Structure 1
Amino acid sequence: MNTPRGARRTDTKLSDGRELSYYDPADAPVRVPLEDTRGLPAPQPQVELRTDPLTGDVITYATHRNTRTYLPPADQCPLCASKPGNPTEIPDHDYNVAVFENRFPSFAGPGRTEVVCFTSDHNQSFTNLSQGQARLVVDTWADRTAELGARDDVELVFPFENRGREIGVTLSHPHGQIYAYPFLPPRMRTLMTQARRHQEVAGSNLFADVLAAERKEGTRVIGENGNWTAFVPEAARWPVEVHLYPHRQVAGIDELSVGERDDFAELYLDVLSRLDGLYGDPLPYIAAWHQAPVRIDRELGYLHLELLSIRRAADKIKYLAGSESGMGAFISDTRPEDVAETLRKVGS
């Protein structure tokens, strides 16, 4: 099938019944999926949701994930294309972008978790993708957002990428994940509460006003083009933190126009290259898409991407210690304006 923006999607199933989709450029040859010959048993995830009575937060217990694959050697990577002697999660000799149900899901029944492989090249990173390949990933995120957001058991679609061992990555192949939460997670609940208060007082959208203020003030902006602006937020929590906002308010990635998707890929690759140039080697980071909730307060949301890194110096990591972990009150060693100025100079 074709996704709304022209990428070709080909659906198949793995030997244990999990779904797998390939995403190829629209002008690529039609893909004929190969059979997964591994004969895997049907997944039996053990997932339990509990609500903390003190905070109202939902805590997920997924005990089966304790046995998930951990930093295998490159020749045994389960996210590479299959080859003789090493059948993988992707039973083909090559692919552009591939998405499959996580073998060790955080949610089962209500909700869903997926793995998004950005490229078949094990030694690549998102930073080094071509703009065309990055754009294909954007179309993939958009298609998954639309499909997962249509499910009755999903409240928020959250595409994200963890990069670097310092972040806790267990597979080094360039990939991200998508969590289709069956509940509204704490961060989004907080954002929607603030957005609702702002709407009641100011009569305008909180996120649009933050973007306008950052663009007007200018000192924390590190890059922009016709449709997007990247900036270090005024009250950044993390040693390195960059937000990317589209200039037009949309609820999700699937609502972005062709031009907006093109411009995002261009600016995002530029920002990632600046992050890697900060200390002269790949920066560990989390890239977190903030999309509007599927149902509750959807009109208050504003799609944006938040990039953060725990590295506070070339050889130092910020750990969440007493104040951050015990009270949720961040104390930062870096000043947002200084970080923005440094990132603007990188590569200039």
Structure 2
Amino acid sequence: MSPDPLPATTLGAGVVKRSTRLSDGRELIYYDDPGTRLGPERRADARPVVERPVTAAMRRDVLSGDWITFATGRQNRVLMPSSDADPLAPQSPTNPSEVPSHYDVAVFENRSPAFGPALAAVGVDELHDETVLDRSRTSVGRCEVVCFSPEHTGSFGTQSVTRARTVIEAWADRTAALSALPGVEQVFPFENRGEAIGVTLPHPHGQIYAYPYVTPRTQTLLRSIAADGDDLMTRVLESEQAGERVVLRGEHWTAFVAFAARWPLEVQLMPHRHVPDFTALNDPERDELAPLYLRLLRGVDALYDSPTPYIAAWHQAPVGVGRDVVRMRLELTSPRRAADKLKFLAGSEAAMGAWTAEILPEVAAQRLRTAIESVPDPRELS
């Protein structure tokens, strides 16, 4: 089948967006680097149409108030495939992958989502029925996969500054689109890196979850802000900037190890201006974020002789509440506490949520500063 040109929309930094659909109806969006060598043509998905899974269900834990999603179809996900069976690589005659054509950055709806594909506010009346103990809802929302590169291996930190800037533009574009979907209350971009974290694909990629509720971590933050003042996050940033735990600072962003960091490696990256999510970042903030974030990630990998497993979690304000007080931030955490040791959440942490940390945040910050200083500026390599 001959490739067909797709309509294009130009985003910030010269990134070009092209949208299409996979054979089963899932949305697929290509984000082309500025100056890309790719043309406007993209191959259509010629795979046989397969029925999409039924949207999962949620059950409420009445003792905690948390919603638990039961997405049983995720049991059958691919586990560490070889390069010739990589489901995130461009399709080939022998590999009927998820992305039909070659790409720079590609985003598509997850085949085995925890939320969606249903989008309507299904079951919302049950949410307000406080008299029912066994409360359930349909897991409306959406889960998307963000492919940072067509290469089989790597991570966000192995990308060029140009490619990182393209992904940032994709995060902003998808945050805006997902926030507008019926029933979505919070949008969460993240990257899991390393088998120790539970990664099942070595392909450089992240995900975006669009939740039908405000997540527990954000609810806790909102309670803290209500108790300590609307300027809490501003004061936290100012306090950290004046202290010894800063690991990297630019004109628009500061990275630091928090005063009460739980994990052996736990870094916060905050914009200096109050910004609720990626959509509100201006061009200078996005431009600086690309090389600064890459330098942080490469510093993390320079801590040891092998790549460090981590979760890179982009916390954003909810869609409908707290947008004037919740500042977006990256929270990067790793269980690696030494070259050959991991921190496991056992009795106290896992059962009671009562943490014991083995490494002082000041020590962790000094180690990371030294590692960051040892890596070249990503802008010099692009």
> Shorter-chain TM-score: what band?
over 0.9
Instruction: Give me the CA root mean square deviation.
Output: 1.2
Pick one of 168, 176, 179 that aligns with 1:149: 179
Partner residue, 1:33: 42
Pick one of 155, 160, 164 that aligns with 1:134: 164
Partner residue, 2:202: 172
Name the SS of the counterpart of 1:172 in structure 2: coil
Retained in 2: the 8 A contact 1:4–1:143? no
Q: Using the alignment, how far apart are the partners of 1:243 and 1:259 within structure 2?
A: 20
- Alignment of structure 1 residues 301-340 onto 2, 5 Å: 301-340=326-365
1:245 aligns to 2:270 (yes or no): yes
1:44 aligns to 2:74 (yes or no): no
Partner residue, 1:214: 240
Partner residue, 2:21: 13
1:267 aligns to 2:302 (yes or no): no
Q: Deviations over 1:121-159 (max 9, x none)?
A: 113322121111101100000000011111231110000
Q: Using the alignment, how far apart are the partners of 1:277 and 1:329 within structure 2?
A: 30
Pick one of 77, 88, 113 that aligns with 1:105: 113
Note the C-alpha offset of 1:241: 0.6
AA aligned opposite 2:340: D
Partner residue, 2:369: 344
Q: Deviations over 1:157-199 (max 9, x none)?
A: 0000000000000111000000000011111110111112122
Q: How many residue pairs get matched?
A: 342
Pick one of 246, 254, 257 that aligns with 2:282: 257
Q: Using the alignment, how far apart are the partners of 2:74 and 2:186 within structure 1?
A: 22
Q: Which runs of 5+ in 2 are unaligned?
A: 1-8, 119-139, 375-382
Q: Using the alignment, how far apart are the partners of 1:183 and 1:302 within structure 2?
A: 18
Pick one of 201, 211, 214 that aligns with 1:184: 214
Note the C-alpha offset of 1:74: 1.8
Q: Using the alignment, how far apart are the partners of 1:267 and 1:320 within structure 2?
A: 31
Retained in 1: the 8 A contact 2:168–2:290? yes
Name the SS of the counterpart of 1:299 in structure 2: coil
AA aligned opposite 1:284: P
Q: Using the alignment, how far apart are the partners of 1:297 and 1:244 within structure 2?
A: 19
Comparing 29-38 and 160-169, the one that deviates more: 29-38
Note the C-alpha offset of 1:279: 1.1
Pick one of 66, 69, 76 that aligns with 2:85: 76
Note the C-alpha offset of 1:26: 4.3
Q: Using the alignment, how far apart are the partners of 2:39 and 2:104 within structure 1?
A: 13
1:299 aligns to 2:320 (yes or no): no
1:227 aligns to 2:257 (yes or no): no
Partner residue, 1:193: 223
Comparing 95-104 and 24-33, the one that deviates more: 24-33
Q: Deviations over 1:284-321 (max 9, x none)?
A: 00000010010022222101111000111111111110
Q: Deviations over 1:15-63 (max 9, x none)?
A: 1111100001344454222111111312123511111110111111101
Q: Which runs of 5+ in 1 are unaligned?
A: none
Partner residue, 2:379: none
AA aligned opposite 2:367: T
AA aligned opposite 1:86: N
Retained in 1: the 8 A contact 2:104–2:148? yes
Retained in 2: the 8 A contact 1:50–1:60? yes
- Structure 1's consecutive aligned runs of 4 or more residues displaced over 6 angstroms after TM superposition are none
AA aligned opposite 2:99: I
AA aligned opposite 2:31: Y
Note the C-alpha offset of 1:238: 0.6
Q: Using the alignment, how far apart are the partners of 2:13 and 2:232 within structure 1?
A: 29
Q: Using the alignment, how far apart are the partners of 2:19 and 2:207 within structure 1?
A: 18
> TM-score if structure 2 supplies the norm length?
0.87
Name the SS of the counterpart of 1:296 in structure 2: coil
Q: Using the alignment, how far apart are the partners of 1:335 and 1:52 within structure 2?
A: 34
Q: Using the alignment, how far apart are the partners of 1:39 and 1:13 within structure 2?
A: 13
Retained in 1: the 8 A contact 2:267–2:331? yes
> TM-score if structure 1 supplies the norm length?
0.96
Name the SS of the counterpart of 1:176 in structure 2: strand
